Chains A and B, each alone.
Chain A
Amino acid sequence: MQVDLRILRYDPERDAGPHWVSYSVEAEPTDRVLDLLHRVKYEVDGALTFRRSCGHGVCGSDAMLINGRNRLACRIRVEQLGRRRISVAPLPGLPVIKDLVVDMDGFFAKYRSVQPFLITDGPPPSRERRQSPEERARYDDTTKCILCAACTSSCPSFWAQPDYVGPAAIVQAHRFIFDSRDEGADERLEILADQDGVWRCRTIFNCTDACPRGIEITRAILEVSAAIVERHG
């Protein structure tokens, strides 16, 4: 079938600003949006620019705004979109470099700011640390994060306050705060209790809806908030 693929194009070396370009693309219902983007790039205009790597939803490169929702282009099939007109734009709220490529440096800086690594005191044992299956299950959900930025760039609080650390960084902090082996919760909760931390969340649930890994992000944010309240009693 023919699909009307509309892409928000922008080349900083040639264009005054972003503009929509329409492509009529032959597609199978089972094609992913990434397949359509490749068809345009390889058969129509090699200058069309987007990131992608693994092509099956685990590397987090190709998050973009597809028919008004943040998704991974390699995970969404044409038939799931339910219509023959498909619009593709860069992730909202992040500076656009070219076409569908956004500047991710600020996003990763926020990720690094929450101390996203295991913090422990003292030397480790000679074998593995023990952790019960229940303790392991406590933070399982937030270990799935692939740092694609679909959540943070879908968040109205982040659009309004670009200094907000954002859902993805809180998810990463959650993964350690609720890990029974970690001893850095105090430092992380201190960072997230900042005015640009968890309190910016207005429980709009856009992040949870956007997550391609199905992480219950809003819930994770609320659990971190509750831990801050508990600690400061």
Chain B
Amino acid sequence: MDQDFDALIVGAGGAGLWAALELAQAGVPTAVLTKLYPTRSHTGAAQGGVCAALGNYEEDHWEWHMFDTVKGGDYLTDQDAAEVLAREAIETVIELEHMGLPFNRTPEGKIDQRRFGGHTRNFGEGPVRRACFAADRTGHMILQTLYQQCIKAGVQFFDEYQVVDLLFDGGEVGAGGRAAGVVAYRIADGELHAFRAKVVLLATGGFGRMFRITSNAWSLTGDGVALAYRHGVPLQDMEFFQFHPTGIVGLGILLSEAARGEGGYLRNDSGERFMARYAPNLMELGPRDLVSRAIYQEVRAGRGIGGKDYVYLDITHLGRKMIEEKLPDIADFVRTYQGIEPITEPVPIQPTAHYAMGGIPTDLNARVIRDADRTIVAGLYAAGECACVSVHGANRLGTNSLVDLLVFGRRAGRQMARDVRGLELPDLDRDAIEPVRAELRAISERPSGESPARIRADLADVMMDNVGVYRTEELLAAALPRVRALQERYGRIHIDDKGTVFNTDLLEAREVGYLLDCAETTVVSALARKESRGAHAREDYPERDDVNYLSHTLAYQAEGGPRLAYKPVTITRFQPKPRTY
């Protein structure tokens, strides 16, 4: 069955919902397609806060936020994008309050703000209270508030429609084709639907499920990223994947940086606040890449708790009242998943795969670009974690993921509303859905073969063990043939469920293919970057190398594996300097 809309949005997290809201308010016929229900999107798992230089407690300026974002990204951040992010953070947070978001409040009734890693006053002097928050469920409240506003605005949702292909008119991306719609699989009955549109936004989130220990939802499988790549869009900066320092040991469930923002300590086996050795100025509020590496160093030196591979997050000195009022959810997670009372006991933590800095390259208005010359892919947009603007550079600062999806989700919606004017619907071949139908059928009809779940687990192991916090030529070179062997096995997968109703067996099998694409581009991009920058820490090349590598990686799909190209970094106000905290 085919349907036409002016605008399509794939994914109903914060970026997709804000874009939908802008389009609805501009009167553009819009559909949002999500493989979940909107309120299940992973924006809802964000905890600690959303930074904006409101200055509700102390002096703050968007220029300081911009500087922190650039330095946090180890100078790979595009500075024109960081400026947009820091400036518009302020108005988007105010707008969210106007939409009804229940922020915590100061005694005067203003939006409450707290400290967060890497966010400083006066270009690095010391921590600043910049993170606006709603307890430790800020993302939950953002997701709820935006969904509420979409209901109010009458946005049309297609819940549990999983997008399985992108459609183009006039050839593939490399040949100058224009986005023309998507193919969606209706989960309830297995029917494929072609949705035609003038403009298409990818807002599908990240792909942390390619790692064994991750804070990411099961649904974060890089769908939009991999589909764009398969149609000729290069993937930018895939070698930069953030490990958050404080995940629950073994499970990877996130314990917000807000715990440290409110004054929590990190301690090693002897009880020492070891961050004094790594970030003497900001201590526990150093940026995430640095803190995750510090934990690995402590563990390697035998100073993990009991000699094991974790350290303690200690919030016992914050007191019951503070914890119950400002960190209730993470206290609950610790009790539920570790059986520990965080008010009286330290909490075992270890780094967890958390956020993709890389993804689909875009310009400042979320338009997808396809080369170093910034050539625009007509009709195609991306925002949120699946996109790479790049505001996060080599390492994202805490809370900036929410700022990113708000600022650039809003910009995406506004740009799309401008662009649809005067456009005709593109042409679609009658058999546009046939290629993906054949791919899905091949999986369903194969009588026996490899288990996709096994392949996913093996992939998660090799990515965790070889492409994690610390990397070397040896580890990465060993990872590549293993990923390729998994891709080869993926060509022979078999599933049990042959039905049409709610076939998650088939859809998860499809998702494993996306993760393999994300993993391969990550490994190839990481092998080629022979320096250490932000989250990409090469032990064989421990220094940042601005002479050779101050540039963005672009990975194109090609015969025999990804082909790499490079794109210059935009530098406006802040020349690269050594990065110390």
Interfacial residues, chain A to chain B (CB-CB below 8 A) = 11-14, 30, 41-43, 45-47, 49-50, 52-61, 75, 77, 97-99, 101, 104-105, 108, 112, 115-118, 124, 126-133, 135-136, 139-140, 143-144, 146-147, 175-176, 179, 181-182, 214
Given the known inter-chain contacts A52-B218, A61-B40, A108-B37, please indicate yes or no for A46 contacting B45, CB distance below 8 A: no
Q: By the criterion CB–CB under 8 Å, are A47 and B505 in contact?
A: yes
A160 CA to B457 CA, complexed, in Å = 45
Of the listed residues B106, B140, B496, B502, the one surrounded by the most CB atoms of chain A closer than 10 A to its CB is B502
Q: Let me know if B94 and A128 touch, CB within 8 A.
A: yes
B501, A56: Cβ atoms closer than 8 Å: no
Q: Give the residue of A53, A97, A118, A132 whose beta carbon is less than 8 angstroms from that of B148.
A: A118
The reply on B336 being an interface residue by CB < 8 A is yes
**Chain B nearest CB: distance from A212 CB in Å?**
9
Q: For the complex, what is the distance from the CA of A43 to the CA of B454, rounded to whole Å?
A: 9
Cα distance A14–B45 in the bound complex, in angstroms:
37
A57-B333, A140-B102, A179-B100 given; name 5 further pairs at CB < 8 Å: A13-B499, A53-B217, A54-B42, A61-B36, A61-B37
Which 8 residue pairs are nearest across A and B when measured between Cβ atoms? A118-B100, A130-B109, A46-B496, A42-B453, A47-B497, A117-B148, A124-B98, A46-B505
Q: How far is the CA of A116 from the CA of B151 in the complex (A)?
A: 8
- Please measure, in the bound complex, the distance between the C-alpha atom of A97 and the C-alpha atom of B500, giving whole angstroms: 12
Most buried by B among A57, A77, A105, A126: A57
The one of A52, A97, A132, A139 that contacts B188, using a Cβ cutoff of 8 Å: A97
With beta carbons under 8 angstroms apart, the residue of A13, A98, A104, A176 that contacts B37 is A104
- Contact residue among A41, A98, A132, A135 (Cβ-Cβ distance under 8 Å from B501): A98
Asked if B149 lies at the interface with its beta carbon under 8 angstroms from chain A, I say yes
CB pair A146 B42 closer than 8 Å: no
Q: How far is the CA of A140 from the CA of B140 in the complex (A)?
A: 13
Q: Which residue of B lies closest to A143 (CB)?
A: B102
B residues 113-137 near A (Cβ < 8 Å) are 134-135, 137
CB distance from B473 to the nearest CB of A (A): 34
B446 vs chain A, min Cβ distance (A) = 13
**B39 in contact (CB, < 8 A):** yes
* B100, A181: Cβ atoms closer than 8 Å: yes
Interface residue? B253 (CB, 8 A): yes
B44 proximal to A (CB < 8 A): yes
User: Closest A-chain residue to B494, C-beta based?
Assistant: A46
Q: Is the CB of B501 within 8 A of A116?
A: no
Question: What are 13 inter-chain pairs, A to B, with CB distance below 8 A?
Answer: A11-B499, A46-B453, A46-B505, A53-B42, A53-B219, A54-B40, A58-B44, A58-B329, A130-B110, A139-B102, A140-B135, A175-B102, A181-B100
> Which chain B residues in 239-254 approach chain A with CB under 8 Å?
251, 253
Chain A contacts of B333 at CB under 8 A? Answer: 56-57
Q: When the two chains form their complex, are residues A11 and B501 in contact, meaning their CB atoms are under 8 A apart?
A: yes
Residues of B within 8 A of A14 (CB): 499
Q: Is the CB of A129 within 8 A of B36?
A: no
Q: Is B574 an interface residue (CB 8 A)?
A: no
Nearest Cβ distance between residue B460 and chain A, in whole angstroms?
Answer: 12
Whether a CB of chain A sits under 8 angstroms from the CB of B70 is no
Please judge, given known A-B contacts A46-B496, A56-B253, A75-B336, whether A129 and B217 are in contact too, CB under 8 Å.
no
The answer, among A13, A56, A61, A112, for a CB contact under 8 Å with B151, is A112
B500–A13 CB distance below 8 A: yes
Whether B99 sits at the interface, judged by CB under 8 Å, is: yes
B502 touches A118 (CB 8 A): no
B560 on the A face (CB < 8 A)? no
Chain A contacts for B144, CB-based, 8 A: 143
- Contact check, A58 vs B137: say whether CB atoms are below 8 A apart: yes
Chain B contacts for A181, CB-based, 8 A: 100
Shortest B300–chain A CB gap in Å is: 27
Give the Cβ gap from A208 to chain B, nearest Cβ, in Å.
17
Q: In the assembled complex, which residues on chain B have CB atoms less than 8 Å from the CB atom of A30?
A: 339
Partner of B217, one of A41, A55, A101, A104: A55
A147 to B40, CA, bound (A): 9
Contacts of B253 in A (CB 8 A): 55-56
Q: Is B550 an interface residue (CB 8 A)?
A: no
Tell me, rounded to whole Å, the shortest Cβ–Cβ distance linking A117 to chain B.
4
B104 at interface (Cβ–Cβ under 8 A)?
yes
B489 CB to closest chain A CB (Å) equals 15
Residues of B within 8 A of A50 (CB): 504
What's the minimum C-beta distance from A59 to chain B, rounded to whole angstroms? 4
Contact B40 A60 (CB under 8 A): yes
Q: Measured between alpha carbons, how far is A98 from B94 in the docked complex, in Å?
A: 43
> Does the CB pair A132–B109 fall under 8 Å?
yes
B152 close to A (CB within 8 Å): yes
CA distance A112 to B155 in the complex (A): 12
Query: Which of chain B's residues 149-169 have a Cβ closer than 8 Å to chain A?
Result: 149, 151-152, 159
The answer to whether B415 has its CB under 8 Å from any CB of chain A is no
B285 at the interface (CB under 8 A from A): no
Minimum Cβ distance to chain B for residue A83 (Å): 18
Give min CB distance, A88 to chain B, whole Å: 16
Interface centre among A101, A118, A139 (most CB of B within 10 A): A118
